[in-house]
Copies of this chain bind each other. A is one copy, B any other.
Amino acid sequence: MQRFLDAGFELLARAESGKEFTVQEVVDRSGQSLRSFYQYFAGKHELLLALFDEAILSTADRLEEQLARQDTPLERLHTFVVEYYRMCLPAPKGRPSKNNPTPVMAEFCHQLLTAHQTEASRAFVPLVTLLETVLDDAAQSGDVPKGLNHAEVAGAILSTVMFNAAYAHTISGSEEPANGEHAATQLWAFLSGGLVTRRAG
């Protein structure tokens, strides 16, 4: 069964437009049979869900690792946003790791979010709870206002960061984020400071 997952990740990493990600292909790469596949997974959907779960877990783990290196709650919040943004950027070439979302994974993520909201919520739990703790700390230290619903805020931040990384450039028609650095900085300024000028009055 793990071999199916491995084959799945391998294929995700390479599949360009999602067209090549077929059950048959996964089965072939896994060196097992179609029969076994449907013995372990109720269908293609279940495989993708399992892959998605692992990707989210892996992302949360890597983020937690980065957070541990920061000293203050505000730095942790900043690190979360910037690093998550990096992980959500479309893979340019290099490392199509478990975290780096491929077109197939992105598309599946949307199917989940639109058509299987219960499963989607469950899958996102690791990221949401991690961010909630970061927000709790930041509220404790007064870096973010108290009294907010941190689950809701976490959902808003995650969707903002994820989809800005993935799509903002395409929507605006700007050229590629050659230096994701600049874009990440912009987004953090946006999220932390807001859009509107701070008036004296």
List the interface of chain A (C-beta within 8 A of B).
17-18, 74, 77, 90, 103, 106-107, 110-111, 113-115, 117, 120-122, 124-125, 128, 142-145, 149, 151-160, 162-164, 166-174, 186-187, 190-198
Contacts and interface: CB of A to CB of B under 8 A. Distances in A.
A196 B193 contact: yes
B159 A168 contact: yes
A156 B172 contact: yes
Contacts of A168: 152, 155-156, 158-159
B173 A125 contact: yes
A168 B166 CA distance: 16
B170 A120 contact: yes
A195 B121 contact: no
Contacts of A144: 195-197
A128 B197 contact: no
Given A145-B197, A159-B163, A160-B164, A113 B170 contact: yes
How many copies of this chain does the complex contain?
2
Contacts of A172: 121, 124, 128, 151-152, 154-156, 158
Contacts of A196: 74, 77, 143-144, 192-193
A143 B171 CA distance: 24
Contacts of A198: 198
Given A107-B114, A121-B171, A151-B172, 4 more contacts: A113-B170, A121-B173, A159-B171, A192-B194
Nearest to A102: B114
Contact of A18 (B115, B151, B162, B192): B115
